[in-house]
């Protein structure tokens, strides 16, 4: 069955309200399009939990910095709709930027502490853009459940905090990272990588495995672990490190010693492409 395509904010709000009145539960997957198997796994989780599924496709301009890749960001709306049809998605919401951000728009949501480090330090204002657009999407789509990938761990944490702080009536579900056969986390930006760069990009997953082995063998000194991981990543051609951090998985504060389950979070440029990856380092 063809999904219903909605482009108007007002129409989406009216449709969502009608679905709720009919007793449906709405599962929502917000995306920027150029869908891959990671996105489709989020759709599957939404379908498992709800009677109707809405997927948004919107490349949000407010979460890109002035020197970032908004215009270059890959887009394939026709291909996306075919993939969503195969997953029996009910509604695809594809708003225009002018409808989402009309003239005079001036409201911003800022989740302050959780966005100070990691990608928030490297991309000032990024998470303000993310939190604001997700808040707007929640108000438009009116979901019971919203599904996000754990690959964007900081984003998931920020959205979860926003929902708690603002008493939003939506359940946030995090889904484990979906990986390629070689371990590379699925990302729309993987399409930027040349073959040689793709080989170097595997260093991120290699660093995750390396860190897990070190922790399993009893290493607890964060500075030592990070030094070893950075050396490993930089031993691959085309790599340039933005950050490699080990932080508390709840408040994202940097750790000096591993005393419990911790989050390894990384952002690495491979060529001109910025990739992120992360993993919870578990202590038995």
Q: How far apart are the first and last CA of the chain?
A: 47
Is 39 one of the catalytic residues? Answer: yes
For the purposes of burial, counting CB atoms within 10 Å of the CB of 269, is it exposed (0-12), middle (13-18) or buried (19 or more)? Answer: middle
HSE (side-chain half, CA atoms, 13 Å) at 182? 9
- Residue 249 φ/ψ, nearest 5 degrees: -70, -15
For the purposes of burial, counting CB atoms within 10 Å of the CB of 125, is it exposed (0-12), middle (13-18) or buried (19 or more)? Answer: middle
Q: What is the DSSP string of 107-172?
A: -----TGGGSSTHHHHSTTHHHHHHHHHHHHHHHH--SEEEEEGGGHHHHHHHHHHHHHTT-S-EE
> What is the rounded distance in angstroms from the CA atom of residue 92 to the CA atom of residue 70?
21
Residues in the chain: 284
Which strands form 26-31's sheet, in the order they lie side by side?
A: 4-6, 91-93, 52-57, 26-31, 145-149, 171-175
User: Are 252 and 127 in contact, with CB atoms under 8 Å apart?
Assistant: no
Which strands form 262-270's sheet, in the order they lie side by side?
A: 239-247, 262-270, 273-281
Q: Which of 29, 264, 270, 282 is nearest to 145 (CA)?
A: 29
Catalytic residue among 36, 39, 236, 238: 39
Catalytic residues: 39
């Amino acid at each position: 069955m063809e999904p219903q395509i909605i482009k108007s904010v007002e129409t989406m709000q009216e449709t969502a309200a009608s679905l709720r009145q009919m007793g449906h539960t709405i599962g929502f997957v917000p995306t920027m399009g150029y869908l891959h198997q990671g996105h489709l796994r989020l759709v599957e989780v939404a379908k498992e939990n709800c009677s109707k599924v809405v997927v948004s496709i919107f490349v949000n301009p407010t979460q890109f910095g002035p020197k970032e890749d908004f215009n270059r960001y890959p887009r394939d709306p026709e291909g996306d709709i075919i993939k969503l049809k195969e997953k029996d998605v009910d509604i695809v919401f594809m708003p225009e930027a002018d409808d989402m951000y009309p003239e005079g728009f001036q409201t911003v949501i800022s989740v302050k502490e959780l966005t100070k480090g990691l990608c928030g330090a490297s991309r000032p204002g990024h998470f303000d853009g993310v939190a604001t657009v997700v808040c707007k999407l929640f108000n438009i789509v009116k979901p019971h459940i919203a599904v996000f990938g754990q690959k964007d761990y900081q984003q998931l944490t920020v959205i979860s905090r926003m929902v708690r702080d603002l008493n939003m009536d939506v359940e946030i579900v995090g889904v484990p990272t979906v990986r390629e056969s070689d371990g590379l986390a699925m990302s729309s930006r993987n399409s930027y990588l040349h073959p040689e760069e793709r080989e170097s990009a595997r260093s991120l997953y290699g660093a995750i495995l390396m860190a897990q082995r070190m922790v399993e063998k009893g290493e607890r000194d964060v500075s030592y672990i990070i030094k070893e991981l950075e050396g490993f990543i930089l031993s691959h051609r085309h790599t340039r490190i933005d950050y490699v951090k080990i932080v508390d998985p709840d408040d994202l504060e940097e750790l000096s010693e591993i005393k419990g389950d911790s989050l390894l979070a990384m952002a690495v440029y491979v060529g001109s492409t910025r990739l992120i990856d992360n993993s919870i380092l578990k202590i038995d």
